[in-house]
């Protein structure tokens, strides 16, 4: 029997029971457990993602991420949770390297944790939008901005709706959302509206294909949204931005992003360490 320690960390918040909770398993051995075991642990912990983390040195780590159903290449909120936890365990402020299946990422550790995202790209512009609005149970909506699939490590649909009230009233057909994301090899519908309240946008994220009906804070998708808004001329090509997510779930989260001078996108925020425990497997 093996004993594994785990933590529950709420990312993108400084308060308990806010933000987006993630499981974090800091591995003491120098190899990952079997993939089937990591999926079972993620399913047992029941969070949208659980990070399994190997330490190579004080400033170099490898992370793998599992939903309750499958491995994903990258998870923003679980990465923020991981490095906030490590910082609380005496990891010094500064820069770290994190190896992931989406690439090697620079993590800035300090009062906030900010993670470098993979090179942003527009994957696809959707011409036939009718089935997407039908899946969101919105009839006849014509956005000001195009529906595009954008990736900063994971591909997500970027979908504008008219206003925050419309956003918060959405009740998507999850079966249809799953089918559409699967057809386009995407992870989620990342739906947004402008609120004119100091935040860059209000957002909701639906990823039922990965057994996540809705997520209260999504780092990778908000990094993708930052690139999308910049490319479409809504925000500047560099600067600091913030996104409010999780309102409809009662878990408001603030996700910070930054576009650096060289175009690199960083995403991050605060985190609250809620609990710790042990698994006997």
* Catalytic (active-site) positions: 49
Measure the CA angle with vertex 223, ends 222 and 227; round to 5°. Answer: 110
CA distance 44 to 42: 5
Contact criterion met (CB below 8 Å) for 7 and 273: yes
Q: How do strand 201-207 and strand 188-193 relate by DSSP bridges? A: antiparallel
Give backbone dihedrals phi and psi of 140, rounded to 5 degrees, phi first.
70, 20
Q: Is 90 exposed, middle or buried (0-12, 13-18, 19+ CB in 10 A)?
A: exposed
* C-alpha dist (Å) from residue 23 to 53, 111, 159, 190: 11, 21, 29, 22
Cα–Cα distance list, 172 to 43, 169, 189, 248 (Å): 24, 10, 10, 13
Ranges assigned E (strand) in 93-207: 94-100, 103-109, 113-116, 121-125, 148-151, 155-160, 188-193, 201-207
Sign of the Cα pseudo-torsion (201, 22, 258, 136, in order):
negative
Q: Look at the alpha carbons of 178, 179, 185, 188 in this order and tell me if their dihedral is positive or negative.
A: negative
102-105, long-range: CB within 8 Å, 24+ apart, which pairs?
102/73, 102/74, 102/153, 102/154, 103/153, 105/79
């Amino acid at each position: 029997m093996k004993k594994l320690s785990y933590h529950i960390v709420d990312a993108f918040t400084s308060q308990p029971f806010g933000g987006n909770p993630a499981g974090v398993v800091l591995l003491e051995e120098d190899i990952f457990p079997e993939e089937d075991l990591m999926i079972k642990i993620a399913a047992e912990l029941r969070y949208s993602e659980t990070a399994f983390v190997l330490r190579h040195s004080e400033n170099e780590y490898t992370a793998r991420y599992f939903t309750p159903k499958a491995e994903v290449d990258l998870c923003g909120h679980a990465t923020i949770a991981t490095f906030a936890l490590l910082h609380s365990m005496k990891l010094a402020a500064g820069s770290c390297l994190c190896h992931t299946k989406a690439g090697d990422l620079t993590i800035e550790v300090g009062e906030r944790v900010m993670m470098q995202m993979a090179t942003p790209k527009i994957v696809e512009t959707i011409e036939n939008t009718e089935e997407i609005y039908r899946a969101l149970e919105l009839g006849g909506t014509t956005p000001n901005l195009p529906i595009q699939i954008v990736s900063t490590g994971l591909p997500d649909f970027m979908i504008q709706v008219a206003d925050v009230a419309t956003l918060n009233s959405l009740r998507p057909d999850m079966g249809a959302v799953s089918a559409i994301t699967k057809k386009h090899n995407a992870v989620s519908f990342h739906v947004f509206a402008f609120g004119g309240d100091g935040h860059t946008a209000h957002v909701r994220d639906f990823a039922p294909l990965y057994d996540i009906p809705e997520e209260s804070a999504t780092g990778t998708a908000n990094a993708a949204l930052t690139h999308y808004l910049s490319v479409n001329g809504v925000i500047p090509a560099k600067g600091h931005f913030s996104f409010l997510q999780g309102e409809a779930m009662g878990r408001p989260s603030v996700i910070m992003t930054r576009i650096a001078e060289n175009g690199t996108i960083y995403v991050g925020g605060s985190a609250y360490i809620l609990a710790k425990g042990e698994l006997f497997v």
